[in-house]
Amino acid sequence: MSHVPFDFPAFRETYQRDGVVWPIRLFEPEEANALAGQYKVFQERAKETRGREIYIKPHLVSTWVDAIAHNPFLLDIVEAAIGPDILLWSSDFFVKTARAGKYVCWHQDTPYWELTPVDNIVNIWLALTPSTLESGCMQAVKGTHVMRDIVHGRTGFASRDEQANKTSDNLLAYEQELSLNIRDEDVANLVLSPGEFSVHHGHLVHGGRPNQADFDRVGLVLRYISTDTRQSRDSDAAMLMRGRDIHGHYDLEPRPTADFDATSLAVLADSLNRPSGFFDTVVA
């Protein structure tokens, strides 16, 4: 892992103004390629031990994903965005399969995450494979994080039945398309090389087109919140990453000490039944 000296004041200014900052390098390309290989091994082990792949909260059962989430430089960036008391609320492998036609509709994250206040919610999107216009990189409209809640087709978490019976090409389980006219000239393409990441505010309008490349586009997304952020839907779980949690809004998850061991799998099973696991228990 390596990174060049970083201008934190400039980062903070851009993040506050635009709600999004990219690209920032975390890994050298060859390190990122190795991680893309580890991703494949991870999913093979997930299928063997659990009967299906794992997309939500992989950091709970994988020491290498947990190590990325704890990377000190990443946490310095997160701290510059949301302050020193940091929880990892959720994480996911966001995969756009080659030529599968799946897209991500324009949305803000927070209206369906049911977290308040929204200002201290920040996402890190780390590219493990090239994330380009062709492979369906994330797209965003700068500055929309200050628009607060824009009306969506719907808000709130999808029920288990909805998740199980979903048929559209929209990769979001919730179909929370924004009712907003977005002009092409306002769209920023968050192009990333393997090992680079973007940072986006929970209220930023973002989405993305289908992957037309001949490889799967894989991103690891880490969703951090400050410890004072509340979940209004249900009891929730998160991992303390830095600083102190004097609020006690979340059951604190332990770090995995081994990959896919019984303890970490039990922690994952519990968390997937909660909002931060997006109730991802469709297939037991």
Ligand X SMILES: O=C(O)CCC(=O)C(=O)O
Residues of this chain that bind ligand X (CB under 6 A): 94, 104, 109, 123, 125, 138, 206, 208, 219, 221
Task: Provide, rounded to whole angstroms, the least separation between the CB of residue 221 and ligand X.
Answer: 4
Give the integer Cα–Cα distance in Å for 32 and 46.
21
Cα-Cα-Cα-Cα dihedral sign, residues 173, 179, 183, 186: negative
Task: Provide, rounded to whole angstroms, the least separation between the CB of residue 155 and ligand X.
Answer: 15
Task: Provide, rounded to whole angstroms, the least separation between the CB of residue 60 and ligand X.
Answer: 18
Closer of 66 and 109 to ligand X (Cβ):
109
Task: Provide, rounded to whole angstroms, the least separation between the CB of residue 139 and ligand X.
Answer: 8
190-219 as b/e: b if 16+ CB within 10 A? bbbebbbbbbbbbbbbbbbbbbebeebbbb
Give the integer Cα–Cα distance in Å for 25 and 245.
29
Task: Provide, rounded to whole angstroms, the least separation between the CB of residue 190 and ligand X.
Answer: 9
**18: number of Cβ within 10 Å:** 21
The position carrying tokens 């890190």 is 124
Q: Which residues are bridge partners to 93 per DSSP? A: 220
Closer of 46 and 104 to ligand X (Cβ):
104
Q: Which residue is nearest to ligand X (CB)?
A: 94
Closer of 15 and 260 to ligand X (Cβ):
15
Closer of 20 and 221 to ligand X (Cβ):
221
Token digits for 18?
Answer: 């635009």
Closer of 137 and 265 to ligand X (Cβ):
137
